[in-house]
Amino acid sequence: MTRVAAIDCGTNSIRLLVADVDLEAGTLVDLDRRMEVVRLGQGVDRTGRIAPEALERTLAATRRYAEICADLGAEHIRFVATSASRDAENRQDFVDGVRAALGVEPEVVAGDEEAALSFRGATGVLAGKHPGPFLVVDLGGGSTELVLGTTSVVAAYSMDVGCVRMTERHLHSDPPAAQEVAAASADVTAALDAASAVVPLGRTATLVGLAGSVTTVTAHALELDEYDPHAIDGAVLPTDTVLASCRALLGMSRARRAREPYMHPGRVDVIGAGALVWSDVVSRVRAEVGRAGGRLDTVVSSEHDILDGIAWSAAERAAAPA
C-alpha cells in the first residue's frame, strides 16, 4: 500500500486526490478528493500568457493542497499540468511557483500523455461493467482528449477546444446568440474532423465522458437537488437525454444557471460552452457508430478521470527500482 497525492491543474480548475494505492490488489482508496476553480487559463487563448491574478489564485490553492498532503502523510506527490500551462509563454513562472509551494516539479504533459492518464483513470473502474472498446472523452477548459481502447490505448487525439477556450473565443452574449453558437460549433466540428482521422470513432462500444462539464450536464439530466458525485459516477443516460440536457444548459442565461442547485459557481459562465462541446462530440460519435453499422443509445459519465490516472502512475513510480 502506497499513500500518494495526485494534483491535476487544468485550464479551469485544480484538483487534489490523496489515496492509498495497492498495485498488487489493483485498488485505489480515496482519503481526500477536492477541487477549486482557479481559472488558470484566463485569457491564455487571447494573450498567450498566464495572467498574474490567475497565477496567484492557482499557487494559493497549491499551497493549501501542500498542507493537506503533509497532514495526511502522502509519501509521493505527482503534479500534472495540462492545456493552459502547455500553451503559455510564461509557464516557467508557473513551474517555479509550484516547485516553491509544493516541493515537487510540476509536469507540463503533452496531450498524448494527458489522454493516456485519463483513459487509465476512467477505465480502471469500468472493466466488466460495459463492453469495449471505450471512447473516453475528457472535456477540459482548454482542450478535449479523445482516447479509444479496451485494456490499453489504441488511438488518442487532443483537440484544442474546451469550455473556457470556446467561451472566451465565441460565447460573449448572455445567453449565447445563435451566430456565436454556430461559430463555436464550427470550431468543434473542425477539431472532430481532425480527430476522426486519428481515432476511429465508429469503433466505439461505450462512450464515457469525464470532467466538470460532462458531470454538470449529467447532474442536470438527473435533476439533482445538489451536486452528488455518487449519483453521477457511472450514470448511464440515453443519448437523446444527454443532448437535451446540453441544449438546455447552453440556452440558459448565466443567472438562470446560477440558480441550479448542482451548479458550481465557477462553472456558471463556461458550462454553456462545455455543453456545446459535449453535444457536438456525442452527436458525432453516434453518427460515426451508426455509419459503421452499430448503435450508440447510451452515454456513461464517470467521476474517475485523469486524477485517478495520476495517482496510479505516482504509485507505479514509487514502486519502480531506483
What is the model's pLDDT at position 127?
65
Please determine, for residue 238, whether its predicted confidence score (pLDDT) is greater than 90: yes
Cell readout for 157 is 487525439
Cell readout for 18 is 490523496
Cell readout for 123 is 477505465
The CATH architecture one would assign to domain 2-110 is 2-Layer Sandwich (3.30)
What is the model's pLDDT at position 10?
85
Where residue 98 falls among pLDDT bands split at 50, 70, 90?
very high
Are domains 2-110 and 126-302 of this chain identical in fold? yes
**What share of the chain has pLDDT > 70, as a percent?**
98
Mean pLDDT of 149-153: 88
Where residue 184 falls among pLDDT bands split at 50, 70, 90?
very high
- The reported pTM is 0.82
Q: Which residues of 173-210 are buried (b: 16+ CB within 10 A; e: fewer)?
A: eebbeeebbeebbebbeebbeebbeebebbbbebbbbb
What is the model's pLDDT at position 84?
67
Please determine, for residue 124, whether its predicted confidence score (pLDDT) is greater than 80: no
Please determine, for residue 70, whether its predicted confidence score (pLDDT) is greater than 80: yes
Name which of 20-34, 56-70, 72-86, 182-196 the model is least confident about: 72-86
Fold of the CATH domain 126-302: Nucleotidyltransferase; domain 5 (3.30.420)
In tens, the pLDDT along 269-322 reads 999 999 999 999 999 999 999 999 999 999 999 988 889 999 999 999 888 776
In the chain, what is the straight-line distance between the N-terminal and C-terminal CA atoms, in Å? 18
The three-state (H, E, C) secondary structure of the chain, written as one string: CEEEEEEEECCCEEEEEEEEEECCCCEEEEEEEEEEECCCCCCHHHHCCCCHHHHHHHHHHHHHHHHHHHHHCCCEEEEEECHHHHHCCCHHHHHHHHHHHHCCCCEECCHHHHHHHHHHHHHCCCCCCCCCCEEEEEECCCCEEEEEECCCEEEEEEECCCHHHHHHHCCCCCCCCHHHHHHHHHHHHHHHHHHHCCCCHHHCCEEEEECHHHHHHHHHHCCCCCCCHHHHCCCEEEHHHHHHHHHHHHHCCHHHHHCCCCCCHHHCCCHHHHHHHHHHHHHHHHHHHHHCCCCCCEEEEECCCHHHHHHHHHHHHHHCCC
Where residue 11 falls among pLDDT bands split at 50, 70, 90?
confident
Domain positions in the chain are: 2-110, 126-302
Contacts with 311 (C-beta within 8 Å, 6 or more apart), sequence order = 4, 5, 6, 17, 19, 21, 28, 78, 121
What is the model's pLDDT at position 83?
63
Mean pLDDT of 136-146: 90
Beta-strand relationship, 153-159 and 144-149:
antiparallel
The rounded distance, in Å, linking the Cα atoms of 195 and 251 is: 27
Mean pLDDT of 92-112: 88
Cell readout for 78 is 505527482
